[in-house]
Amino acid sequence: LLSFQMAMETAYLSSSEAFYPSTVDGDTIAHKKAILQSCSNSARGSLRDPSGLTSDSLSPPLLFYLKDHGRCTNRLAAHRALILVGLWGQAPDNMLLLRRCVESLQILHENPNQFGLATLLEIWQSRIRPVFQSLMFGFGIADELSEEVFSSLIEDKVWLSEYTIHARTILGMILECSSGNLSQYISDEDTFSNKSEMWPPLRECPILSALASKLRPIKSSSIMLHHIVAFTFEMTHDIDSIASAVPSFNMLFSVGSLFSEMPPIPKESIEQRRLIDQAIVDRAKKSSSNPVIDNFDCIKDVDLVGKAFGLDPKYTRTRYLVEIIRLGKDASINDLLGGSSTALMKPLFIEELVKILCARLDGIISSLKRTKQYRGVVSRLDAETSTWMKEQAERFTSQDDDYTPVSLITTHSLILRLRSMTENDTFSDQINSLCLISEMLLKAVREQEQQRVMDI
């Protein structure tokens, strides 16, 4: 039925002919002929593919009546969203229904008015909020939910990931719609329906009117906090860390929480920084080495949450690049490294990279020691630098289970890039020492490779 409705809606708008056969103006011989031809023709175009309507005479008869009604997309989208979320409530494992519901809500979001916001709130309050409340605080609080049905779904990572994205999207739409002055907003379809002589005339919808009459002022502090928590949960799925970072956490996701003022979030706490770090690690692990990452758009949402916690965006971006390099994905950010110096906390970035480079070079040296041909080169390395490097490496690797070794060429390339960033810097002596070691090792490896070729 919903597919039929959407296909009809598209067909109304794609047809170039519309008239009302029940009116005096519509009751002409030509119009009667068009209707009779449309009704009697068996080769009608498919409603599922309105482009299949080869001519207006092949259009189903309802198109003659309802073309103008098809322009009232907001009302149709609101009803469609309510129907779809109701069906999803009966079959919550079918995420296609919720996905289609959110697509319909996007239409309301693009053309904000009171009944659009009322529809968004109704769907949040009745269907989405109870699941989030049970997710955060356990079953038994939200009486609307069946623990038997939803407990297994929440354990399903794929289902939970998609649900969280949709829930956060709906919260974002509520946030944006509620920030405008809806009382004076008149949509194009309202203006059109008032002036049009459409038949049957467009009447007030009791369902949407009832929802609009229940609207209460939404507190911006509350919707922002809900949105931040939904974002953070989507990134980390760590409820305990979120609760530590957001002191008013226990006040969220209740029936009246969107309509109550929330205390401001404390800024830059240890828990908040730890939560952002966790989100960055997760995002870096999911980043692919291909395609190349040439901007920070991939962590825009982490940036937003970090700002809400009072963290400088430079911190977020610095931690992200450090994590990418720690995981051995240097190649994916070569271009980004070249132009991002001003977007980073430079001292923190260099300090963290020095630890990673020490670990890489120490691992390479340990590997070369196992080969007789390289022992002489290793023995000629500066003793003081080697000792310092080994201490840094041991300290770093003992705290890091995800550290990824990479090639000597990649390591040397990173050292050269870092040296260009640290000219006349407090770290320049350390970087120069590492550069000398990597150059010696690289030269020895290349000479050995050339000798091998000559021997063959």
Question: Which residues, 6+ apart, have CB-to-CB distance to 417 below 8 Å?
Answer: 337, 338
pLDDT digits (tens, 9 = 90+) for 144-182: 778 888 989 999 999 999 999 999 999 989 988 887 655
CA distances for 123 relative to 87, 89, 93, 204, 403, angstroms: 12, 10, 17, 21, 44
pLDDT computed for residue 208 by the predictor: 87
CA-based nearest residue to 376, from 451, 455, 456, 448: 448
pTM: 0.70
Question: Which residues, 6+ apart, have CB-to-CB distance to 273 below 8 Å?
Answer: 309, 311
pLDDT digits (tens, 9 = 90+) for 346-377: 889 999 999 999 999 998 888 888 888 888 88
pLDDT band at 405 (very low <50, low <70, confident <90, very high): confident
pLDDT computed for residue 48 by the predictor: 39
pLDDT computed for residue 186 by the predictor: 42
398 pLDDT more than 70: yes
Q: Are 84 and 97 in contact (CB under 8 A)?
A: yes
- The rounded distance, in Å, linking the Cα atoms of 333 and 341 is 13
Q: What angle do CA 194, 197, 199 make, to 5 degrees?
A: 110
pLDDT digits (tens, 9 = 90+) for 294-338: 778 888 888 888 888 889 999 999 999 999 999 888 888 877 777
Tokens (6 digits) for 190: 């309202």
